Amino acid sequence: MSVSHLKPKSRWKSSTLRFSTLMLVGTLIISGLVVALWFAGEHRISQIFEQVNKLQQNPPMWLEAPMVTGKCLLAPTIALFIGVLAVMRVSPQPRTWSRRIVVGILIVLTLRYVTWRSLSTLNLANPLNGVFSLGLFVLEMLMLVSSTIQLFLMLNVKDRKRAADIKSQAVIDGSFNPTVDIFIPTYSEPAFILRRTIIGCQALNYPNKKIYLLDDTRRPEMAELAKELKCNYITRLDNLHAKAGNLNHALTKTEGELIVVFDADFIPTTNFLTRTVGFLQDSNVALVQTPQSFYNADPIARNLGLENILTSEEEVFYRQIQPIRDGADSVVCAGTSFVVRRTALLETGGFVTESLSEDYFTGIRLSANGYRLIYLDEKLSAGLAAENIAAHTTQRLRWARGTLQAFFITSNPLTIPGLSLIQRLAHLEGLLHWFTSISRVYFLIMPLMYSFLGVIPIKASLAELMFFFLPYYLVNLAVFAWLNNHARSALLSDIYSIVLCFPLALTVIQVMLSPFSSCFKVTPKGTVNNYTFNWKLALPLISLFILTAISLWRNLGMSMIQGVWAPEIDNTVKGIGLG
């Protein structure tokens, strides 16, 4: 039995790398050249932007706020707000009909807002304002495209709990009882963590199983642990291809019809196999993914003292994103707590080794070969969340780098043959998600540009904001928690995005320029006991806070000097970054 490591031809990877990098750098050079010519006063460039600015100053009549009082301008917002609250009251948990009503309203409001932003609010009066205004608009549209794709996919969400009830009967009565190999890959985790996982796997209510401890560091204590707990022990001479290589090596040493993978810190419930294996009765189903849940608080929730309020960021992904992906036949294989059919895995060449995200791209290759991946939204295992902010950051940066390597490998979900349009659309949303970190950094620095450079990136009156922006914003705010099954509120979710936006934005840029410059870094588990302050992560945020505070007091002082508190205050809203 052999497993292909799917190593792409170096010539192909090199040409793809050059093309992707040149496309990115070329776009930056061309846009920079246009900006430079605009600042230099080149006639033709200036003339183009003058024409666009005239169109912005004279938008279609239907894009102008009605000439009515403030109360009337609030009427659309109030009506929509009451409408969605009524839907959520009648349907406390999203159902097909209620979700489609709310999502339909959000999509219409988003398109209305985008139309207004693009045809009426850009400030191209001069190069300085124009550059920041266009930059804000482009990055805002990036976020809106990502969120709109997600809304569209919400129109069809799968819930397989009832199907699991039916299909598990064949497993329980023994009529469907394939052999199962349980893989527990380990690199540097302490023995006490692995002991819990192995014992949990031994307690699974399934007779036809074998447990394998896959030690990628050749530690004597791991061999002793496997011997003590009477489970199989597999190691190898090198660490080639990290976790993917470890799993592929184990494939050549085992024979079970199904493979189950648990990370070293994940403990399954006793009914994990009875709830999942039944789905594999369908020969077209290659993989069943279950959610990750955690028995400790993540570092951000713990540092804020909100352990019992904030749901782990990863759990939000499994409550909201995975059911959406299941509806689009584009479930993300998450690297742990899943069952996969051996024959399908071997047919596609084993676990993908091209990327740091071997799990994600293994799922893509299975889908591209015509197999189905399904998601069972039941908590059937629990593991350790990253225990400090450094480990949390390392984990997220590895996910970002691994996912964005899609643009440079054969398993790219946007180009690989065999996927449907809806599947590609779902994977596109997942790729765009990481680019939104750049948008968040831009939004954070935008107020400083207004304060210190006098930049006004959006031209909008208070009436226009009330009529076009407020309905879109408040309805989004009202339904956010309902749509993600009350996993998190809209405001609290931004805490996670802001904390990591600077390192994530830098990683995104680095990956697009040099995608394979970083090796696999294991998230430390069970080894962190002392409190440490992460200056590397905090410094950009502290600097931004200080500059924002200075700009705030500066603006307040200037406002008092210039008498802006007078009744004649102009109603033009300046320096607001809408996102």
The closest of 122, 139, 119, 138 to 130, measured between CA atoms, is: 122
The token pair that represents 384 in the structure block: 């350790």
Residue 307 is predicted with a pLDDT of 76
Q: What are phi and psi of 548, to 5 degrees?
A: -65, -40
pLDDT at residue number 302: 82
Give the Cα-Cα-Cα angle 49, 51, 57 (nearest 5 degrees): 100
Residues of the chain with pLDDT under 50: 1-2, 4-16, 564-579
The active-site residue, picked from 216, 263, 265, 326, is: 216
> Catalytic site residue 494?
no
484-514 pLDDT, tens per residue? 877 777 677 778 888 899 999 999 999 988 8
Q: How many CA atoms lie within 13 A of 59 on its CB side?
A: 17
Helix, coil or strand: residue 12 = helix
Work out the number of other CB atoms within 10 angstroms of the CB of residue 378: 17
- Least Cα distance to 516 among 401, 372, 427 occurs for 401
pLDDT at 529 (0 to 100): 57
Q: Would you list the domain boundaries of the chain?
A: 10-153+431-560, 161-385
**Interatomic CA distance for residues 231 and 527, integer angstroms:** 24
**Residue 479: CB partners within 8 Å, gap ≥ 6?**
84, 88, 102, 106
DSSP 369-389: TT-EEEE--S--EEBPPPSSH
Nearest to 153 by CA among 99, 97, 229, 206: 99
What's the confidence (pLDDT) of residue 391? Answer: 84
Q: Which of 444, 471, 467 is nearest to 573 (CA)?
A: 467
Measured between alpha carbons, how far is 280 from 258 in angstroms, rounded to an integer? 9
> So what's the pLDDT on residue 10?
39
Place of tokens 């129109």: 155
pLDDT at 13: 46
Q: Name which of 355, 432, 343 is nearest 7 in CA terms.
A: 355
- For 151-195, give the DSSP string: HHHTTS----HHHHHHHHHHHHTTSS---EEEEEEESS--HHHHH
Q: Quote the distance between the C-alpha of residue 55 and its chain's center.
A: 36
Which residue in 215, 298, 326, 359 is the catalytic one?
359
Q: Are 86 and 101 in contact (CB under 8 A)?
A: no
Non-local CB neighbours of 92 within 8 Å, separated by 6+ positions: none
Q: What is the CATH number of domain 161-385?
A: 3.90.550.10
Instruction: Say what the pLDDT of residue 295 is.
Output: 85
Residue 26: both structure tokens together: 């070329």
pLDDT at 69: 64
Intra-chain end-to-end CA distance of the chain, in Å:
53
Tell me, what's the pLDDT at 495? 81
